[in-house]
Every structure is written in structure tokens, then in C-alpha cells.
Amino acid sequence: MPAYDLIVIGAGPGGYVAAIRAAQLGLRTAVVERRHLGGVCLNWGCIPTKSLLHSAEILQDLRTAGRFGIDVAEPAISLQKIIERSRNVAAQLNAGVQFLFRKNKIDTIWGDAEITDRGRVTVKASPGDLPKGVLPPGDYEAAHIVIATGARERVLPGLAPDGQHIWSYHHAMTATELPETLVIIGGGAIGVEFAAFYAELGTKVTLIERMPRILPLEDAEIADQMAKALKKKGIDILCSATICDAPTTDAGLTVRLKLADGEIRMLKTEKLLSAVGVVANIEGLGVERLGVELSNGTIRTMSRGRTTVPGIYAIGDVAGPPMLAHKAEHQGVMCAEGIAGRAGHTELGPVPSCVFAHPQLASIGLTEEGAVATGRAFEIGRFSLRGNGKAVTLNETDGMVKVLFDAQTRQVIGAHMLGPNVSEFISVFSLAMTVGATREQLAATVFPHPTLSEVVHEAVLASEGRAIHA
């Protein structure tokens, strides 16, 4: 029975990063995976969807090229090639994880894992052939076990994906034909991104959200601006709406919705995409039998991923929200360093989130509504992209940056932005919140010109009523 210092269950962003960091620190490490290295993020989530969205952005650029003095004929769309490129991107990065495992001498064990006792993992064969270079199912021992099994898409009763009429996000990423109409259930990040992609390609999209607005976890002001941007693309949005059922016919589906006022509305559509969040992958792991405490369907953790059972850890989606790949990666590093006895961060700092539609949305920390709920005094700075020179040159002036400061400490407590590529500079506020930077320190920071990031500086100045280009 092979013995390891650490066995990681799951090779998604949290799991493979934890394994690599542990191996760097000299721990003999193995990873159990049942489907694909890189997890949902790399193979069926973050990465391939960004490839799809980039294709949609290029299409938009071609259609608006005339504004920049470049006349282009109406571009021809090949959905097959768009999908093919996204799958190739995922495959390339999947191979990259394999290379990193070999480089760091990490063993890969292929199959479904169950923790049968403290320090013991039993791996059973999973469907499909055994990939080359991996260890077979069997019993394996380790001093420490990290659970990084991620999450799977939530399925609403009566709306199980069939690939023909009702899509999962897997189906939406591998479509062979462009649907004329698409109803998306769920106005969170996944629903919004798929709505933006398919609408740009010419599908008539309707986005359904049961809460009063789309992106309900985001700042209301910024979410409302995103809704306006989506409507400009021809996307219909119905909020405060719940789905009753969706009977199918040969021609498609009829989605029956109940609105907030009790009205029943019928929507005919060719395809329906269910994008209503995810559920942690806990089943079959054996954690409850061993006494690992759960909380709201996820594993309850303490500092550095420790669970209520010594020697067992949990990171990433399976350890609860926010269910984001970059959170999982950082938890993986903290957990591995804790196991190796290294000093370092024991708790996660502020975690940014992004929505990669066009325009993009990025946020971190408290929303304005959340800040009000705390009862603290705070100040807000806002700055529109209309006052940013780079945004004007790009013809991308829809959007803004909004930053919240604690009135007493003058530190950032939240930041929210909408606009082109804002995912690339939300990190300014990530750093500011991590190190406790004050408004004065941010105001004294020099931002390069002309760049979109200058809106950050202007929003900071605006919180004191001294924005230059407002």
C-alpha cells in the first residue's frame, strides 16, 4: 500500500495548486482524479467560456469597425470553429497541468475516491479507459488528505438537461448549431456570460432571474448598468420570475413562468439553458461517517482548510462560497503550506469576482447595500468611463468605477466596476484591501496615461469631491 505525505482528492484549480505547492515544499504528493486534470474551471468553465466570449468580442469588433474607418463585410460565423477553438484551448492547458505534475513528481491516481479511514483513501475505477501514466484504483495511505472535489451544476426539478431541448453548460459549450431562440434560467455570472455570447452570435436570448434583478450578489447600481448593457444587445430580461415547468415538443419548449404579480407568462423557445448555480461534490467521499462537519451542503473549515477531523482538509468550492477558482487556488497554497509547517497567511483575504460579458463587471468587498447594513459610516466615489480618454478612443464609454471607503479608517471596504477589461484592474483594489491602503495612499498613486485604469484613480478622488475629469 503506497504511502504519501499528502493525497489531494480532485485536480481542479484548488487541488492541483495545493499538490504543486506541497511538492515544492518536499512532500510526497499524489492527486486522485476521476475525469480530467484542471477540473471544471479549466475544462468546462472559466477557460473555455472565455475563449467563446473572446470570439464574440472579435465579432463585435468586426461589426463596429466602420466607426474606426475600416469597412468590413458582414462576417461569416462558424460556430463549429468557435467551439473547436475553445476545446483546443482547454486541451492545451490540460496538458500543461499534466506537465506540471510530472515536473514536480506528483503521482496521479485515476478513479473515484472515498476516505475509508483517517489516512486512507480507497480509489475505485471510474468510467472510461485508464489514461497513460497514472496509477490504478486501489487503497492508498497518506498522513494528510485534502478534499478539493469542487462542485457540479445544480439541476432544477423537472429540468434535467437532455442535450436536445434542455441544455447544461456542457451542451451550451459544444453546440453544433446556433439556436434561433434561447431561454436562460439564472441571472448570475454563468447565465449572463452565456446570454452575452449567444446574443452576439445572433440568437434571440431571454434571461430569467427569480430575484428582483440579475447578478443579485453584486452592487445594485453596477448590476443595473449591466442589465442596461445586455438589453442594448437585444437580450430580454425577466426578473422576479420563477419557472413552473417547460413541456417539450418536437419544435422546442414552452416555458411557463410565474411573475411577481402572479401573472403566468408563456415563452416558446428552441433551447433552454439551466444556469442556476452549483452544488458541492460531497457524495461518496465518506466524510460524514468520519465525523467531518458539514454546513449548508459544504464542508465546514477552519484556518488553512482544516476540518473538524485532524488530518483531513477541504478547499475550494467544496468548502463553501465564494465558489471561485482563484479563491480555491489561494486556499490550496495556504493549506499546503500549513501541512508543511510553513509560516504564512492562515486566512483568505478579500476575494474579487468578475463577470466576463461585454462590458465586463468586477467587484470586491462590500456592496453599497452591504455597507449600509453594517451601520458604519462610509463614503463613495464614482467615476464614469465617459471621462476617460482611453475609453473614448476605444468607443467603450459605457460603465463606471465605484469605490467605498470607511469614513473613520479611510480604507477601502468595497469596489465595483463595469467596463472593458475591468477584470484586469480590479486587482488594484484587491491589493489595497489586503495591505490596508488608505484613500490618501491611493490618491497619491500614479496611474499611467492613457489607460482605462485611470478611472480607478478618478473614482478615489471623486470620493472627496476632487475628480479631475468629472
As annotated, the binding site for FAD includes 50, 317, 323-326
Terminal alpha carbon distance of the chain: 68
Q: β-strands 264-269, 252-258: how paired? A: antiparallel
Helix H or strand E encompassing 49: helix 46-63
| CB of 182 closer than 8 Å to CB of 269 | yes
CA atoms of 97 and 82, how far apart (whole Å): 23
* Annotation: binding site for NAD(+): 186-193, 209, 277
Q: Which residue is associated with the grid cell 431561454?
A: 183
Q: β-strands 242-245, 252-258: how paired? A: antiparallel
Rg (CA), the chain: 24
Q: Which residue is associated with the grid cell 471596504?
A: 413
CA atoms of 276 and 272, how far apart (whole Å): 12
Phi/psi for 25 (5° steps) reads: -90, 10
CA atoms of 431 and 418, how far apart (whole Å): 19
> Exposed, middle or buried, 221 (CB in 10 Å: 0-12/13-18/19+)?
middle
CA atoms of 31 and 148, how far apart (whole Å): 10
Q: β-strands 138-147, 264-269: how paired? A: unpaired
**Is 165 designated active site?**
no
CA atoms of 217 and 462, how far apart (whole Å): 25
Catalytic residue among 330, 416, 449, 457: 449
| CB of 314 closer than 8 Å to CB of 146 | yes
Q: How is 236-275 classified by DSSP, letter by letter?
A: EEE-S-EEEE--EETTEEEEEEE-TTS-EEEEEESEEEE-
Among positive and negative, which fits the CA dihedral 266, 272, 277, 283?
Answer: positive
Helix H or strand E encompassing 58: helix 46-63
Q: Establish whether the linkage from the previous residue to 352 is cis, with ω within 30° of 0.
A: no
Contacts of residue 402, Cβ cutoff 8 Å, sequence gap at least 6 = 219, 221, 222, 368, 380, 381, 382, 415, 416, 417, 459
Q: To the nearest 10°, the Cα dihedral for 338, 344, 350, 353?
A: -60
Q: Which residue is associated with the grid cell 463587471?
A: 361
CA atoms of 219 and 412, how far apart (whole Å): 15
3-state secondary structure of 45: coil
Q: Establish whether the linkage from the previous residue to 2 is cis, with ω within 30° of 0.
A: no
Residues with active-site annotation: 449
